[in-house]
Amino acid sequence: MPFVELLAISERATTVALAMGKKIAPMSLFPPTANAILYPEQLARRLGNLKNILAVHHIERLKGFVQRTAQKGAKLFTDKETMRQYIAMDIDALETANGTYCKGLNSMEPEELVEGTVKAGKNLLLQGISLFASVDDRINEAFLLSNIGQLYRLQLHCQMYFTDFSLPYDPEKEKNYVLEAVEYYQRALTTITDFRSTQFPLFESISKDLAGIYLTYAIRLQDNVQPGIMENHLQKIAVEIREFLARAQSAYTLIRDSSKCSAKMHYIADRSIIEIMFRFGKLSQRSAQQCGTIGVSRKLKDYERQAVEHYSTCFNYVMEKITKTAAAKSLKKQTRICLRECMTALRAVLESNRCSDISVRVNTTDARIRHSRRSLAAFFVSTQPLMRHLHASLSASEEERKEFFEDASLIDLNSYRETVCLYVQYARNIVKDTLQCLMTSKNSKVLNLWKNIYRLLLQIQTTGESYNLPQSLLQLSDCAKHINGYFEKSEL
């Protein structure tokens, strides 16, 4: 049966049931009808659940599009027709309440299809909320409010993918979706506040979604700063990014530190907090780069220091998790370290060194060599626990490797590949600079040692059609093992 027919039946059934319920309610006092009649409160709850079930149909369509795009990448959609096929529900589902079409499906833009889907789902949920509110069922009312928030969150993700495909970047439109989602998530949390102790899983789930929308928007703003923006506007954007990152961090920390937090939610919250730490560092680093273009030395140093502190906090947090996990040999879900966290820690080391290199001024050959040695130590000595964890995880069973990769999307894998490439290239540049300084050196032993390190780094594959991320990471961990050996023997 087409979805629109189910929808129409539910609308008629709702009206009839409510009317009949009021008429025959007095009969519930007498047998044999007493056991067969639903009281108005029961009827309202059932009808409210029905509205939610129908709305979930719209949510699942949007969720399927977002998940498919995340896994396959924007290249999956080569034209608008393909996008329509993935987004569009049954044609009947796009009818308005009076049974007429707002616009022909074939002439509708993908963006309009999503807008119509969100609107239809929201209308159903609002009807359900009204029914639950009429019987003071605040738990289900909160659940449906959070589903409206989910609709707007999915609309935001769809808009982000449309922008990646062809549409111009529209931060105001995306922000409107964010604010709509935030409003309904906050209303849901307010509604369920008195039931937090008895309905903590629902409270936790809504809090996680609210924190997620904060973080998503902050990352979106941070990664889409357009070139040529005036300095005062950049500062406003930076303030907004910092505000949303702080909100996300606060929400995730509240979830993680709760005594009732589930293992899965603890894992998600902790992983997100690591990302937020890195993002704070990136924000300060970006501000430092902006100061560098206008020659404000004091601000430049402050931002560089803040960036290094944030990156160090991020890296040390991951190192502490790895150390605790290794010591306890725990198999609990929340204590496991996934690939995303490892790559974030590697990127934090890289960016921290970049910030430090900007502020360090070396003029003599000896000073350059000492600086290169310190940088190499930061890359491969301080990261020993991380490198060992990478090697162990990538050498584990297939099931454990799958868990380690955590079903990473194509977009994620491309980002990890870029991180490895930048990390290795930066290390190569450090060694290459040292080799140039040592060319005139009479100490052939030291020169040959640095040459060996450079050969090891060159063996790490970072490009090419046959590139394999796990293999590249294994090569990196093996290279780190050899370099650590040189440091342990005090040969460097």
3-class DSSP assignment, residue 363? coil
Q: What is the dihedral of CA 280, 282, 286, 289, to 10 degrees?
A: 120
Predicted TM-score of the model (pTM): 0.85
| Domain annotation covers residue 217 | no
Q: Which helix (H) or strand (E) holds 401?
A: helix 398-405
Q: Is residue 393 part of a domain?
A: yes
Rounded percentage of the chain residues whose pLDDT exceeds 70: 79
Give the C-alpha separation, 323 to 313, whole Å.
15
Please choose, from the candidates 185, 121, 205, the residue with its C-alpha nearest in 3D space to the C-alpha of residue 155: 121
Of 224, 420, 429, 457, nearest to 339 by C-alpha is 420
Query: How many structural domains does the chain have?
Result: 2
- The set of residues, in sequence order, having a beta carbon less than 8 Å from that of 195 and lying 6+ positions away, is 138, 139, 203
CB of 397 within 8 A of CB of 483?
no
Judge contact between 450 and 434, C-beta under 8 A: yes
Preceding omega of 32 cis (within 30 degrees of 0): yes
> Is 93's pLDDT higher than 90?
no
Split at pLDDT 50, 70, 90, the class of 90 is: very low
Does the pLDDT of residue 30 top 60, yes or no? Answer: no
Q: Which amino acid is it at 247?
A: R
pLDDT at residue 365, as a whole number: 77
For residue 65, being part of any structural domain is answered with yes
Phi-psi map region of 461: left, alpha, beta (phi>0 left; psi -120 to 50 alpha): beta
Asked whether residue 86 is domain-assigned, the answer is yes
Reported as a single tens digit per residue, the pLDDT across 453-462 is 999 999 998 8
Please identify, among 163, 195, 227, the residue that sits at the C-terminal boundary of a domain.
195
DSSP 403-469: HHHTT--HHHHHHHHHHHHHHHHHHHHHHHHHHHHHTT-S-HHHHHHHHHHHHHHHTS--SSTT--H
* DSSP symbols for 153-177: HHHHHHHHHHHHHTSPP-HHHHHHH
Q: Is the residue at 325 inside a domain?
A: no
Side chain identity at 403, as an amino acid letter?
E
C-alpha–C-alpha distance, residues 212 and 378, integer Å: 32
Angle at 390 between CA 414 and CA 470, to 5 degrees: 40
213, amino acid identity: I
pLDDT digit string (tens) for 357-383? 766 666 677 888 888 888 999 999 999
Element (H, E) at 371: helix 365-380
CA atoms within 13 A on the CB side of 435: 14
Q: What is the CB neighbour count within 10 angstroms for residue 223?
A: 9
What is the average pLDDT score of the chain?
A: 84
Tens digit of each residue's pLDDT (9 = 90 or more) over 420-451 = 999 999 999 999 999 988 887 777 888 899 99
Evaluate whether residue 373 is within a structural domain: yes
Last residue of a domain, one of 195, 218, 251: 195
DSSP summary character for residue 199: S
**Angstrom distance (rounded) from CA 408 to CA 412:** 6
Which ranges in 135-262 belong to alpha helices (H)? Answer: 138-165, 171-192, 200-223, 231-256
pLDDT for res 281: 97
> What is the extent of the structural domain holding 81?
1-195
> Is 156 inside a domain boundary?
yes
Cβ-based neighbours of 250, under 8 Å, separated by 6 or more: none
Which amino acid belongs to residue 271? R
With 70 as the cut, is the pLDDT of residue 15 above it?
A: no
Boundary of a domain, candidates 195, 210, 231: 195
Quick check: is 101 in a domain?
Answer: yes
For residue 1, the model assigns a pLDDT of 59
3-state DSSP helix/strand/coil percent for the chain, to nearest 5?
A: 80, 0, 20
CA dist., res. 64 & res. 52, Å (int): 18
How far is residue 447 from each of residues 267, 365, 444, measured CA to CA in Å? 46, 14, 5
pLDDT value of position 393:
92
> What are the residues facing 95 on neighbouring strands?
101
